Amino acid sequence: MKPDEVLGYCLNNLEGTILVESWGEKGIFYNPNHILKRGIYVLTVKEKDGKNDRSSNLNRQGIYRVNLGLKRPTFQKLFGPTPARPAAGGVVEMPYDFTEINQLLPHPVYAWMGWVSILNPSDSVFNELKPLIQEAYEFATEKFRKRK
């Protein structure tokens, strides 16, 4: 899959979402009718390393990372206890290779918040991610209702 296919899937299937490009990444936000300034994160696609996030080595040719925020119980079911928040520029202390391609992993920086990630998902693995994308979407709608 290509990054734009991931983003297109979300925009076409998750009602009330918008695309926002900032900080070197593209984000899908839940923000029906642009009520909030930015909206609530559902999913991001990051295509290059940043100052505080180099753990996935995204500067490799053709590598990108899909990131999504899950509810804590789902994260814990997949990966065990959520780790402590790392220091600025640091990586969570978990026994994973955050450069591994096509494998669902804890997010290297935001796992402490229940975020997960995957580098370059194949079509078949992306299909397996759809229930998690749906959960991230529903979680974002809950947060939106509380903020609105």
Helix, strand and coil content of the chain, in percent to the nearest 5, comes to: 35, 25, 45
**Backbone angles phi and psi of 93, in degrees to 5:** -90, 95
* pLDDT confidence tier of residue 143, bands split at 50, 70 and 90: very high
Range of the domain at 74: 3-147
**What's the pTM value of the predicted model, to 2 decimals?**
0.95
**pLDDT at residue 52, as a whole number:** 86
Q: Is the dihedral of CA 100, 101, 106, 107 positive or negative?
A: positive
- The tens digit of pLDDT for each residue in 53-78 reads 999 999 999 999 999 999 999 999 99
Report the candidate in 42, 39, 44, 50 with the shortest Cα–Cα distance to residue 27: 44
Count of domains for the chain: 1
Give 32-42 pLDDT, tens digit per residue. Answer: 999 999 999 99
CATH of the domain at 19: 3.90.1150.30
